[in-house]
Structure 1
Amino acid sequence: MKTLSVLVVNLAICLSVFSQTDNAVLLEAENFQNKGGWVVDQQFMDLMGSSYLMAHGMGVPVEDAKTTVEFPSTGEYNVYVRTFNWTSPWFEGQGPGRFQLMVDGKNTGPVLGTTGTQWMWQQVGKVRILNKKTTVSLHDLSGFNGRVDAIYFTTENTPPPNELKALGKFRKKQLGIPTKPEKTRKFGLVVVGGGVAGTTAAISAARLGLQVALIQDRPVLGGNNSSEVRVHLGGRIKVEPFPALGDVVKEIGPSRGGNAQPAEYYEDEKKMDMVLAEENISLFTNYRAFEVKTKGSRVTRVYARHIETSEEIAFLAPLFADCTGDGTIGFLAGADFAMGRESRDEFGETTAPKKADKLTMGSSVQWYSVEENDPVFFPVFQYGVEFNEKNTEQVTMGEWTWETGMNFDQIYDFERIRDYGLLVVYSNWSFLKNFSPVKNEYKNRKLEWVAYIAGKRESRRLMGDHILTEQDVTDYMVYLDASAPTTWTIDLHYPDPKNTEHFPGMEFKSIAVHKKIHPYPIPYRCLYSRNVDNLFMAGRNISVTHVALGTIRVMRTTGMMGEVVGMAASVAAKHSTTPRGVYEEHLGELKALMEKGVGKYNAENMQNYNEGSTLGPKE
């Protein structure tokens, strides 16, 4: 029997739209029955306590989000909305994310989303509820990313708490969510993160007989290679010493390349279909892992919360794989990790800076425009970052080079980083459309797509029994546990000096500095934690230095890592051992699997794009 795949839990959404007590009603915006043109943004749940709805209209107001509420009684209620002005880090005035709260089609009063420097409960005023069954709507006024976490109606004069821990307890009480998840699922392997690495890890392990849970906090798979972010695959597959590695990447990967292209280029349905075809995979989309339980040096369970319904599930397994990119599961489990750049002396890397620092590669908000037959209006957008004839980017699209946040923390400052990406795209486009000397060249151009899910390159790196360094790769130090090959250059990003001239400390463009390599097999010991005994990792969060990350982070390479992790998990399960135990006692068995591969469909390799430049095989 095919294992049940959990996609969007529509029934749960219908059953838990809101909560009510004798004198109050709490509405979670992300749980509205009809979201209209508003989008669910879960990227910052760990920072602000919840996912939220956002009016991502790229300057055009979006359709209202609506839900039906049954109030405990008619009468007068005080109303509070949790929101803020997302441009406040750069602009002191009224922000652009304007919206109104509507009750039974009537405006409740003030324009919201224009004030506040952080997420907070803002008082709307008093509203008279005339019918117990009432429609509540969010009415967007600008299309410029107004955002709503929750709405609270109360007969009291006290808003909910703002402090995250207290707010979390308040939510659970109001929504009737148990303190600990009532649903528990057991698996042979739990993979957290449904990017390319997590997807291939799940498929590989499932094909080798493990019962696998794949947890992904978005409705689609692929991560940066999905239609939500739109970064094409990079690197090569079918490379010595294990040319069978990459067979799964070949099966799930899009046949067309290109960054910031139309959605169909990224073939979300192919990845989804490949996962759903595997009877041993239970897929949990729209669930975000938020807590880890450990016993000694082992993970015992992971808790995940649905990003719309707030339903929580506990996942139990003897083995876990952190494919989150941010190393979230490892971090929560107490795994050793690094972040930022190591000093040159720490590992003897010639490319490393003299002194260690917190600089990371940044995140990209990609975008593109299209030419229409008639003039297209775009509002004036000026919110704290000045664009003029000298500093504007006269372009019609922005891909990987539009990169923000290198000087900020890619975990704790991530909402600000993403928002700055949106800010500069809109500001630059507004100048081109409204003020530029060449504005006639842009008069018929429409801003067609801007990512609101940011494409992140670097954050935490979980430390394994081996830390891959620059000289491992450049000196071709092949270890006994050689596994997935990296074929990309050592490709490190830095703020674009030209952009720095115009926007010092506020850069949004990057340059790439490449150092060519020979195709290099990554040691398997980089793919499991050195101090959390049952934790694998695959993706950009594996055990490497900042410099070595420059070569292993492209997605065909991370996908092959996922295949290796799935194979290693099957060996570990077979022998009731740990990831380290596979290296110490069963490495030959793992190598045999890497030689054979887990390809299933004998698919032709159609991915002859963005393979990268290297010096060729080592002589």
Structure 2
Amino acid sequence: MSTKRNLLTVEPACDRRDFRTEPLDADVVVVGGGMAGVCAAVTAARAGAQVVLVQDRPVLGGNASSEIRLWVLGATAHMFNNNRWSREGGVLDEILVENMYRNPEGNAVLFDTVLLETVAAEPGIRLLLNTAADAVTKDGDRIGSVSGFCSQNSTRYEVSAPVFCDASGDGVLGYLAGAGFRMGAESREEFGELFAPEESYGGLLGQSVYFSSKDTGRPVTYVPPAYALQDITRIPRWRSFDTSVQGCRLWWIEYGGRLDTVHDTEDIKWELWKVVHGVWDHLKNSGDFPEAENLTLEWTGLIPGKRESRRFEGLYMLRQQDIVDQHEHPDAIGSGGWSLDLHPADGVFSEHPGSNHIHARGVYQIPYRCLVSRDVPNLLLAGRIISVSHVAFASTRVMATCAQIGQAAGLAAAVCARDGLAPADLTEPGRIRVLQRDLLRTGQHIPGVPLEDPDDLTAEAELDASSELEAAVLPADGPPAALDFSRAQLLPLPAGRIPQLTLTVDVTAPTTLRVEIRTGSGPDDYTPDTVLAAQDIELTPGQGQPVKIDVDAVLDQPRYVFLTALRNDHVTVRTTSARVTGLLAVRNASAQDADPAVGRPRVEFWTPERRPAGHNLALTIDPPLRAWPATSLHTGHARPTDRPNAWAAAPHDPHPTLHLRWPEPQRITRIHLAFDTDHDHAMESVLWDHRERAVPFCVRDYTIRAAGRVIAERRDNHQTRNVIVLDTPVTTDELTLELHASHGDVPPAVFEIRCYG
């Protein structure tokens, strides 16, 4: 028997002791606190579930945390592809927008705090850090509970729930529960995937350890540890190392694809430490890098960033054709857009290039069935362990894609816990439509699926705006842009004849400028490989020359077209300082060549430049472009698709105001607003320097009135979505949204206003 005397506890010897055990009950248990697990837990909690989030590390974020320091990225792919306005929405969008506002320098430690705050702010989440799941109990084929041990407080937790979500990266929960899984690459024959790797390439992606250096301002000596790699020439690309590249930009310091990436992780880590210290020894002590004299090794990752291990078998297995051919799925719950990005299994020691890619024309849908375990009826899968082939995994594995998969899994888990359903039950068409609707309500983007919300009171409201933007002239007051690349202006045009367009150019020598009107194969396809019309224009030397484009081409439906000026070394086009929601200039800097042998299509990449660069082309448009009416708020899309989908006020409007009027009074308890935080901006979480803290298009200050009375107002907003819960419901037949300012000298824009009773 233990005794306590004052400040002393005395425990007599005994034959054995057990760690303290704490039982917990929840509606949803999420195992894994990476980006997928964070978004799953937050979404489930916001849907009303009591959630336990089990994370085996001291911070959240997984590969995005300060322990590993990989930037969060997904479909936007650093804006290097044709996936316009594709940044993932929902909880991840909220996190990335907040991080850019607080942390535009990309400090990984600060990103930790954003993630921890996001989870801690939800009263429905019990967060267990430093807690490794190590056992499950089962009731038949269902999981009954999961246990985990926390080394920091010597406590074992036994957590019970009706629904579980595995977002652990290695699929620890699914593995313990006996769910079927795969590791390695399928053959070409199994799914007809032409990109499936041969044995010489290897069937698993490896792991990476990153590092960073610091200039101390004085000479620093580096004595490598005895385990550092001695012969740098063992790395075939050793000549690629220099002092200017480090961290995630050395992602190809990769190893382990020939090993068991679950059980051999510690061995893989040691090999990567050897490589990192060998690389640093080479930079510091070879004598080839005098600029390294004042550099010190500031940080080296303590755990490797893992790419691939187990993939679990669900109700559907996504494959190469789904991604490259952009197949539509009735149960789509999100999108992907990263390339099929395979790495050689030998990693840094391979003679192959560090990666091999296939880019699709644009984004693709991810079906809910990939999230539902085939074998364990109360288990949902999230993150990189979902049901995909090895080739498809090469795209779905990236963190922003994993995060929105986590959001879908979290909402599905909450619905199942609330309604006593199994995850497979949600595949029924009526239920999947409700799940899609509720995901869209939270800001998730599902390509091709608009929000159809019968509970939204604004669907019956008459919309009237103080003004609506018309683009007749984009003045030539921006920096000139040389046609050293072909350049284009995306224009959202209505159905009908292409308007007359006029560019302004400077010409240094007699030349012929070719201008083309291009579009994609579908209305929201941003790969402009369909030429609708072309015009060759003879030019003589001179400044500020108007170039009129008047073509006989007709659009059968609204869509974006590309006004394209092809490369010409004698021509410079004028640009404008005007920035408007849904208008974007791009340039053609590269292309993907077709390779039928692996299923790779030819794709020209037309990509924007990041602000403050990337000015729109100066234009006159006749008749004027009227693409921002108040009725845009009824399209069901909260970002540009085949049109801007936003109401934007005229630039000269001193008090942009939107009026909603109903034929009968409505009882309103909640108002949802969606603003423009530029879903084309990648918002990498760490290591990238963002020149803005808030997106210039985003509404900063606004007021909402009901029949003239202020019921809500916000100052210094920088978030995409604002959900206003009224302390006292209002009953009114009139609502007014007044926009006072955006974060830049641009017309403020609104994608959504929805009201609920």
Task: Report the TM-score, using the length of structure 1 for normalisation.
Answer: 0.64
State the match for 1:579 in structure 2: 423
Distance of 2:421 and 2:398 partners within structure 1: 30
RMSD of aligned residue pairs (Cα, Å): 3.4
Give the CA deviation at 1:381.
Answer: 3.5
Choose which of 250, 253, 260 in structure 2 pairs with 1:402: 253
Match of 1:445 among 283, 295, 312: 295
In the alignment, which of 576, 588, 609 is matched to residue 682 of structure 2? Answer: 609
Deviation for aligned residue 1:354? 5.3
The equivalent of 2:357 in structure 1 is: 513
Encode CA deviations 1:365-385: one digit per residue, 9 max, x unaligned: 001112221111211444374
- 1:313 offset after TM fit, Å? 0.7
1:505-562 residue CA offsets vs partner (Å, 9 max, x unmatched): xx9x933434334311101000120010000011000000100011111111111111
Evaluate the alpha carbon distance shift between residue 439 and residue 482 of structure 1 in structure 2; reply closer, same or farther with a 3 A threshold. closer
- The Cα shift of 1:230 comes to 0.8
Structure 1 stretch displaced more, 282-291 or 330-339: 282-291
Cα offset for 1:21?
4.9
Structure whose alpha-carbon radius of gyration is higher = 2
The structural deviation recorded for 1:606 is 7.2
Give 1:159-558 correspondences, 5 Å limit. 176-178=17-19, 182-236=21-75, 246-253=89-96, 255=99, 263-264=107-108, 267-353=111-197, 359-383=203-227, 385-388=229-232, 392=238, 394-396=241-243, 397-399=246-248, 400-434=251-285, 436-494=286-344, 499-500=349-350, 510-558=354-402
Q: What displacement does 1:266 show?
A: 5.5
Q: Which amino acid aligns with 1:609?
A: A
Call closer, same or farther: CA 1:368–1:498 in 2, change over 3 Å: closer
Cα contact 1:344–1:355 (8 A) shared by 2: no
**Separation (CA, whole Å) in 2 of partners of 1:367 and 1:406:** 21
Residue type matched to 2:167 in 1? C
Residues 218, 355 of structure 1: CA spacing in aligned structure 2 closer, same or farther, 3 A cutoff?
closer
- Residue 280 of structure 1 and its aligned partner are, at CA, apart by 1.0
Once the two structures are TM-superposed, the CA of residue 243 in structure 1 deviates from its matched residue by 8.8
Q: Residue deviations 1:33-54, cap 9 Å, x none?
A: xxxxxxxxxxxxxxxxxxxxxx
Q: Note if contact 1:286-1:306 (Cα within 8 Å) is conserved in structure 2.
A: yes
The question of whether the paired residues in 2 share the 8 Å contact of 1:288 and 1:306 is answered with yes
SS at match of 1:494: coil
Amino acid at match of 1:402: I
Instruction: Confirm or deny: 8 A CA contact 1:212 1:280 kept in the other structure.
Output: yes
Distance 1:334 1:498 in 2: 34
| Offset, 1:480 | 1.3
Whether the aligned pair in 2 keeps the contact of 1:571 and 1:586 (CA below 8 Å) is: no
Q: 1:16 to 1:231 in 2, by over 3 A?
A: farther
In the alignment, the residues of structure 2 paired with residue 357 and residue 512 of structure 1 have an alpha-carbon distance, to the nearest angstrom, of 11
Cα offset for 1:263?
3.8
2:91–2:407 Cα contact (<8 Å) kept: yes
Q: How many corresponding residue pairs?
A: 433
- 2:580 aligns to what? none
Q: In 1, Cα distance between the equivalents of 2:259 and 2:11?
A: 37
Amino acid at match of 1:300: G
Q: For 1:575 and 1:518, locate their aligned partners in 2 and report how far apart those are by CA, in whole Å.
A: 36
- SS of corresponding position for 1:551: helix
The reply on whether 1:596 has 2:441 as its aligned counterpart is: yes
- Paired letter, 1:190: V
- 1:603 and 1:327, CA in 2 relative to 1: closer, same or farther beyond 3 A? farther
Q: Percent identity?
A: 36
- Aligned letter for 1:294? K
Distance 2:140 2:224 in 1: 57
Query: AA paired with 2:421?
Result: T
User: Relative to total residues, which structure has the larger strand share, 1 or 2?
Assistant: 2
1: CA distance, partners of 2:348 / 2:421 = 53
Change (3 A) 1:416 1:458: same
- Residues 27 and 49 in structure 2, CA contact (< 8 A), matched pair in contact too: yes
SS in 2 for 1:303: strand
Contact 2:371 2:387 in 1 (8 A): yes
Aligned to 1:83: none
Q: Say if 1:609 and 1:591 are closer, same or farther in 2 by CA, change over 3 A.
A: closer
CA distance in 2, matches of 1:16, 1:193: 38
The residue type paired with residue 218 of structure 1 is R
C-alpha contact 1:236 1:487 (8 A) present in aligned 2: yes
